[in-house]
Amino acid sequence: MVLTNTIIACALALFTASTDAQLVEKKYSSYATDQQNILRHLGGTGPFVEAVGWGIPTETPYQCTIDQAHLFMRHGERYATKGSDKGLRTLYDRLKNTAQNITAVGPLSFVGDESFTFFEEASWHDQETYYGPYAGTGDLFHMGNILRERYAHLVNSSKTLPIFTAGQKRVFDSAVNFANGFTFNQYAQNYTMVVLPENQDSGLNSLTNTNSCPNFDGDYEGAYANQTLQYSTIEAARLNALSPGFNITAADVYNMCGYCAFELDVRGSSPFCDALSQDAMIGFGYDKDISTYYSDGPGYNMSFVSGSAYANATLALLKDNKTEENTYFSFSHDNDLLRYVTFLGFFDIDGDLPVDHVDFYKFYSVSEIIPMGGRLITERLSCYNETSKEDDKFVRFLLNDQVIPFPNCSSGPGYSCPLDSYAEIIESQLLDFPELCAQNTSTPLYTSFYWDWESGKYPTEYTSN
Ligand SMILES: *[C@@H]1O[C@H](CO)[C@@H](O)[C@H](O)[C@H]1NC(C)=O
Ligand SMILES: *[C@@H]1O[C@H](CO)[C@@H](O)[C@H](O)[C@H]1NC(C)=O
Ligand SMILES: *[C@@H]1O[C@H](CO)[C@@H](O)[C@H](O)[C@H]1NC(C)=O
Ligand SMILES: *[C@@H]1O[C@H](CO)[C@@H](O)[C@H](O)[C@H]1NC(C)=O
Ligand SMILES: *[C@@H]1O[C@H](CO)[C@@H](O)[C@H](O)[C@H]1NC(C)=O
Ligand SMILES: *[C@@H]1O[C@H](CO)[C@@H](O)[C@H](O)[C@H]1NC(C)=O
Ligand SMILES: *[C@@H]1O[C@H](CO)[C@@H](O)[C@H](O)[C@H]1NC(C)=O
Ligand SMILES: *[C@@H]1O[C@H](CO)[C@@H](O)[C@H](O)[C@H]1NC(C)=O
Ligand SMILES: *[C@@H]1O[C@H](CO)[C@@H](O)[C@H](O)[C@H]1NC(C)=O
Ligand SMILES: *[C@@H]1O[C@H](CO)[C@@H](O)[C@H](O)[C@H]1NC(C)=O
Ligand SMILES: *[C@@H]1O[C@H](CO)[C@@H](O)[C@H](O)[C@H]1NC(C)=O
């Protein structure tokens, strides 16, 4: 994580400088290996991976302080959902059975090994993973530690900290783990959970607002319905040639890629990640890119309607001058985060994404946006202006721990956007959620939980409905 790794990098730099390795050690690496990182191609199903970013420092810019911070975060690494787990289990059983009759060779030779066991605990569908290097529970706790360090100056430890969370178990658990990391299990500060049920009755007072948007079609696929990518067919042919006897199909390849991702979430490694070619992983990543692009990204116009509501609520806080509460931590799902950043325009690429080949020249990578544990941080900066001798306000974003410049507005310190300009841009683009969604007008028409969370009307514990 860049926020902590800076310290380690500095320590390493000092160490190497004092040895006589200078002849070969380069102060600045000549190698770019990061795109070969498989985590960049798992398309939202794999463990958290920091965004590539633009190299803009995450430090607070010169003559600025952070005076307000918002976190909008997907839950941590989890087990597969019941539906996708079924496909993985079927694949596992078939391969394992076949290996009893043949001698498995080539990339799939591991199938014959006794150590090849299924990784999912059936009762853990949908839930956070809790052991291994990519455990979702641990990642969330650690995120709490990191943000405590970064935002200690924004909190009053004598006051109870609200933690806003959507109602599903995995989201609630993630929020609790974050809160425990942020407050050292309440030794340093008390917190309270503010649970927003994931149902239609929550209306716009929700972190999962498409539940109250009848016009939002959860099955919408757009152009993805015509997907004709070739990667899985090509990979199946490769595997059948090198590991004959399994009769691998294109659909199996898709499942193997998902298997690789989820087994990493649970166990930290997977033989499928090694068996699949990098070409196939790139194809799979793009497959996920386009499916999400057309279901919850810029390829579906209702995405903007949903995202607009999150942006509007955050903008109201950014414009607020009260000083008592300066951190807002909210937990939800991948698609809500995706619609939010879609509305903000970060991935408003020129023209739609093709569905018949991998288009490398249109930057939209879903692992860059919503890996497990994906997060958007909005920071308000207060910066001293030498000329006017006044403090001016700016806004900047960190998407998956890297600064992401706001489109068309990055004239401020650290490529931030002046708050006034930001407000103008957002306000000119806001959409009428109740109208466009055909929302039930008997349900809340505004987001109010950030302001009225102390009213006692929100559950503070997980409930199953
Ligand atoms: C092995 O092959 C035989 C004959 O094709 C088949 O009947 C049997 O089900 C196979 N066994 C396994 C474990 O797949
Ligand atoms: C912190 O909160 C406590 C309790 O509400 C209050 O008495 C105190 O003045 C606050 N401190 C600051 C620095 O705002
Ligand atoms: C948390 O609340 C309890 C009960 O009100 C109180 O005794 C304790 O001092 C609080 N802890 C902190 C860190 O403020
Ligand atoms: C609209 O919401 C109200 C309040 O939750 C509910 O009683 C009513 O049944 C809803 N109407 C429809 C058509 O869903
Ligand atoms: C799929 O392709 C067909 C044939 O080109 C086209 O008529 C149809 O509109 C496409 N569907 C979508 C959802 O783009
Ligand atoms: C694979 O396909 C071949 C040819 O159709 C068939 O003989 C064989 O039984 C199949 N093997 C499995 C494991 O399905
Ligand atoms: C989305 O596009 C559809 C089809 O073109 C159109 O009917 C609908 O009004 C659009 N909705 C919004 C919110 O722009
Ligand atoms: C709040 O801040 C805005 C912009 O910084 C300023 O124009 C406004 O006067 C302030 N309002 C109050 C009540 O301080
Ligand atoms: C940025 O500005 C251009 C030109 O004015 C405009 O076409 C584009 O939509 C803007 N992008 C965003 C994300 O607002
Ligand atoms: C600083 O203030 C001057 C005078 O008000 C203004 O022209 C300039 O744009 C400000 N600089 C920044 C970075 O906002
Ligand atoms: C944005 O939120 C404010 C309340 O903070 C509300 O008055 C306004 O109607 C909202 N705008 C839209 C377009 O939803």
User: Which residue among 216, 221, 301, 435 has the greatest number of ligand 7 atoms within 8 angstroms of its CB, and so is best to mutate?
Assistant: 301
- Name the residue range of residue 117's domain: 80-125+223-294
How many domains are there within the chain? 2
For 276, residues 6+ apart whose C-beta sits below 8 A from its C-beta are 107, 235, 253, 256, 257, 260
* 384, part of any domain: yes
Instruction: Please provide residue 7's backbone torsions phi and psi, each rounded to the nearest 5 degrees.
Output: -65, -45
Mean pLDDT of 361-390: 95
- Cβ(146) – ligand 11 distance below 6 Å: no
Buried b / exposed e over 310-349, threshold 16 CB at 10 Å, is: bbbbbbebbeeeeeebbbbbbbbbbbbbbbbbbbbbbbeb
Q: In which band, very low, low, confident or very high, does the pLDDT at 9 lie, cut at 50, 70 and 90?
A: very low
The whole-number pLDDT of residue 25 equals 81
Instruction: Please provide residue 391's backbone torsions phi and psi, each rounded to the nearest 5 degrees.
Output: -90, 125
First and final CA of the chain: distance in angstroms? Answer: 35
Same structural domain for residues 205 and 260?
no
Q: In which band, very low, low, confident or very high, does the pLDDT at 24 lie, cut at 50, 70 and 90?
A: confident
- Cβ(391) – ligand 10 distance below 6 Å: no
The whole-number pLDDT of residue 19 equals 53
The predicted-structure confidence for 125-169, as pLDDT tens digits, reads as follows 999 999 999 999 999 999 999 999 999 999 999 999 999 999 999
Atom nearest to 433 CA in ligand 11: 14
The predicted-structure confidence for 74-107, as pLDDT tens digits, reads as follows 999 999 998 888 999 999 999 999 999 999 999 9
Same structural domain for residues 121 and 143?
no
The predicted-structure confidence for 243-299, as pLDDT tens digits, reads as follows 999 999 999 999 999 999 999 999 999 999 999 999 999 999 999 999 999 999 999
Closest Cα to atom 3 of ligand 6: 247
Of 237, 268, 294, the position where a domain reaches its end is 294
- pLDDT of 448 above 70: yes
How far does CA 344 lie from the centroid of its chain? 15
The whole-number pLDDT of residue 148 equals 98
The whole-number pLDDT of residue 119 equals 93
Higher pLDDT, 10 or 421: 421
Atom nearest to 102 CA in ligand 6: 13
The whole-number pLDDT of residue 11 equals 43
The whole-number pLDDT of residue 31 equals 86
The predicted-structure confidence for 27-68, as pLDDT tens digits, reads as follows 888 888 888 899 999 999 999 999 999 999 999 999 999 999
The whole-number pLDDT of residue 6 equals 43
* 404, part of any domain: yes
Of 242, 263, 294, the position where a domain reaches its end is 294
* 449, part of any domain: yes
**DSSP state string for 21-59:** -TTT--SS-----GGG-GGGGSTTSS------------S
Structure tokens at 450: 């950030």
Same structural domain for residues 212 and 361?
yes
Query: Would you please indicate which residues are annotated as catalytic (active-site) residues?
Result: 75, 334
C-alpha 138/C-alpha 42 separation (Å) is 20
Same structural domain for residues 204 and 240?
no
Name the burial class of residue 94, with classes exposed (0-12), middle (13-18) and buried (19+) by CB atoms within 10 angstroms of its CB: middle
- pLDDT of 389 above 70: yes
Same structural domain for residues 422 and 277?
no
- CA angle 55-331-184, nearest 5°? 85
Same structural domain for residues 266 and 163?
no
Same structural domain for residues 290 and 316?
no
